[in-house]
């Protein structure tokens, strides 16, 4: 299936955005990026770069120039985090999305793929094998999932004859160059122990960065062909849920760190997270990755998803398995073949 000849990727310098650009360039698509700062990696790929703040109306003209002549936009730029005040998240995730849609309409771009997150539907109690019929919760536990849900609503509401839209919901993205998930685990290891709330037994889904990017290209192709996927949201994961403790320890092992799960009392952690939430939401707070009720709930409740819709409508299948991804990480870390075999056995 042929996709658009030219694609704009917002946030192309980010972890997922860069991989989307790599895959677009690899298949011969003219690729453009807009982000706040230049990237040597994008330059090496031959990606044309524009620079600006998506949420700043003064930069809307730059955004519109970047979208000029594009057959589609992948809106991947976002402020991610598990804590912090609402205002910066709203500005980047909601206002920025409104401006991207405005630029699409100004330049008659016919398709928009939005990078959402499975956390838009997360709620206390967890999610077990849920599909896209599940609505948003009445109340989100943090500003990040709340603003991503609002932006997703806006994107899907914009779907119509002149602009086909789709929203993808990857979850817990990891892989080479991961700047968030694995580093957070490494920071939590002390004396060979990974200190976390709960016993690590709840099942969670995750997504390799190559899998997440591959899904974006599939969605671009479907929208370009006028497929029925327009106006819909899709969960995207490896489809291999693991106990959160196993996933965490496997990622640490792939990074060359041996640790064991050290359970912390859930009630005590919840009280500490509530106190940190209150402090992180004060005006002037800039900490987006502090301990929070949101991250505590995700560590102590299941969240895994039914991928039937993505498989059926997008032809989705992960291009890399969990074991293959972990083995690759171990190789990148210079670990021995024996460690790679052990990782493969544990993941299997």
Active site residues: 144
* Half-sphere exposure (Cβ direction) of 108: Cα atoms closer than 13 Å: 1
Quickly count: other Cβ atoms within 10 Å of residue 87's Cβ.
11
Please enumerate in sequence order all residues whose Cβ is within 8 A of that of 127, keeping only pairs 6 or more positions apart, or say none: 118, 121, 134, 301, 302, 303, 304, 305
Pairing of strands 260-264, 203-204: unpaired
Report the distance separating Cα 211 and Cα 214, nearest Å.
5
* Size of the chain, expressed as the number of residues it contains: 348
What are the structure tokens assigned to 209, written together?
């960065």
Q: How many helices (H) and strands (E) does the chain have?
A: 14, 16
How many other CB atoms are found less than 10 A from the CB of residue 216? 28
């Amino acid at each position: 299936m042929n996709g658009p000849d030219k694609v704009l990727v917002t946030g192309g310098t980010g972890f997922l955005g860069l991989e989307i650009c790599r895959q677009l360039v690899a298949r011969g698509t003219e690729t453009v990026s807009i982000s706040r700062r230049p990237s040597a990696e994008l330059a090496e790929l031959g990606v044309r770069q524009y620079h600006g703040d998506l949420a700043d109306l003064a930069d809307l003209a730059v955004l519109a120039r970047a979208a000029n002549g594009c057959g589609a936009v992948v809106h991947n730029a976002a402020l991610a985090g598990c804590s912090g005040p609402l205002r910066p998240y709203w500005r980047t995730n909601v206002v920025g999305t409104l401006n991207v849609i405005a630029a699409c309409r100004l330049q008659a771009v016919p398709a928009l793929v939005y990078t959402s997150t499975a956390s838009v539907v997360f709620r206390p109690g967890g999610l077990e094998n849920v599909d896209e019929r599940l609505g948003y919760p009445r109340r989100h536990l943090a500003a990040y999932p709340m603003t991503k849900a609002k932006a997703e609503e806006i994107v899907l509401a914009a779907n119509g004859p002149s602009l086909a839209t789709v929203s993808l919901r990857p979850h817990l993205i990891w892989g080479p160059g991961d700047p968030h998930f694995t580093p957070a685990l490494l920071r939590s290891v002390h004396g060979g122990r990974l200190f976390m709330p709960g016993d690590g037994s709840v099942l969670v889904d995750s997504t390799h960065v190559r899998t997440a990017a591959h899904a974006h290209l599939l969605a671009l192709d479907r929208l370009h062909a006028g497929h029925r996927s327009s106006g819909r949201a899709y969960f995207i994961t490896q489809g291999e849920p693991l106990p959160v403790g196993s996933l965490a320890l496997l990622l640490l092992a792939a990074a060359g760190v041996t640790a064991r799960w050290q359970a912390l009392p859930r009630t005590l952690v919840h009280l500490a997270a509530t106190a940190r939430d209150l402090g992180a939401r004060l005006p002037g707070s800039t900490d987006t990755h502090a301990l929070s009720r949101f991250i505590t709930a995700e560590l102590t409740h299941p969240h895994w998803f039914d991928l039937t819709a993505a498989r059926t409508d997008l032809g989705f299948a992960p291009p890399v398995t969990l074991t293959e991804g972990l083995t690759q990480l171990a190789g990148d870390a210079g670990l021995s073949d024996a460690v790679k075999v052990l990782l493969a056995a544990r993941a299997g």
